[in-house]
Amino acid sequence: MVGWELEIRWENIPKNRFIFLVGFSQNYESAALALEEVQSDTAVISQAGSLARFLPIDGFMYVLNQWELILLEIDTNYQPLRFGKTPLNNNAETLFQLNDFLFIGTTTGMLLYDVSNPTNPEFINSVDHFRSCDPVVADEKYAYVTLRGGTNCFTTRNELQIIALEDPENLEVISSQLLFNPHGLAIYQNYVLVCDGTAGMKVVDVSNREKPEVVNTCPIPFAYDVIIDYPSAIVVGEGKLYQYDISKLPQLELISN
């Protein structure tokens, strides 16, 4: 690089540019309000993609720096202040929060931390596997991990693993489902949406956690990650975002892209 110019622009964007609002039924708003009522007394779950590398937790920003977990304190002026860091001893890739648990996906396994005190995350346990790329999401009883081969992951293993969380001190992989080249994923009730690369997005029925089953596939040219904001799911593709209605799972209805 031999030089550059810095330019800051402010632009007004008309409301009709927000294409993701197009095509929703009038029931969406009432459904969202109902969901807020239901969720008011339920779990605190990451509202982010499964490939997220930074996550806000109780006034702190948790950030992955490959081999470290860095904590930034966010003050009243929304200025991040470096608070501290903890070594992970693993090549860390992804973060996911469920209540007081922080799940960290690494290339060699899943790490579980207690973040009930957000200033001092405490290591609880880990599940190791062959070297692989490793996003993770979770619900109250299970964690869901995709293992992906190829690129810098140095393996040909491609599957969804389900890990029992009943005893955090003794984590156990209870089942797996073979996939093509899985990337990000999301969980809603008894269904896991898995972005399976060029094989599209898979809907996996996990009502029986010991026998997961692929029950539907969306033919997306390349599915990378998915974020659920019920009753919709936003899927990150290659150069394109897709919005699906997931109110009738395992069926999916494309709303816009």
Q: Is the pLDDT reported for residue 153 higher than 70?
A: no
Residue 43: its pLDDT value, please? Answer: 65
Q: What is the DSSP letter of 16?
A: G
**Most confident option among 100-104, 140-144, 189-193:** 189-193
- What whole-number distance in Å separates Cα of residue 36 and Cα of residue 29? 11
CB of 188 closer than 8 Å to CB of 230: yes
Residue 178: its pLDDT value, please? Answer: 94
Residue 19: its pLDDT value, please? Answer: 42
- What whole-number distance in Å separates Cα of residue 217 and Cα of residue 68? 36
**pLDDT, tens digit (0-9, with 9 covering 90-100), for 53-107:** 999 888 899 999 888 999 999 888 878 888 999 998 778 888 999 889 999 988 8
Q: Is the pLDDT reported for residue 42 higher than 60?
A: no
Q: Is the pLDDT reported for residue 158 higher than 70?
A: yes
Give Cα 226 distance to the centre of its chain. 7
Residue 40: its pLDDT value, please? Answer: 42
- What whole-number distance in Å separates Cα of residue 217 and Cα of residue 211? 18
Domain boundaries, the chain: 44-225
Residue 154: its pLDDT value, please? Answer: 52
Q: Is the pLDDT reported for residue 22 higher than 70?
A: no
**Most confident option among 48-57, 165-174, 237-246:** 237-246
Task: Give the homologous superfamily in CATH for domain 44-225.
Answer: YVTN repeat-like/Quinoprotein amine dehydrogenase (2.130.10.10)
Opening angle at CA 218, ends 213 and 219, nearest 5: 125
Residue 26: its pLDDT value, please? Answer: 40
Query: What average pLDDT does the chain have?
Result: 83
Residue 126: its pLDDT value, please? Answer: 87
Share of the chain above pLDDT 70, in %: 82
Q: Which residue has the higher pLDDT, 20 or 137?
A: 137
- Does pTM surpass 0.75? no
Main-chain phi, psi angles of 19, to 5 degrees = -65, -20
For range 131-152, the mean pLDDT: 79
- Amino acid identity of residue 132, one-letter, is S
Q: Is the pLDDT reported for residue 2 higher than 80?
A: yes
Query: pLDDT-derived band of residue 191, with 50, 70 and 90 as boundaries?
Result: very high
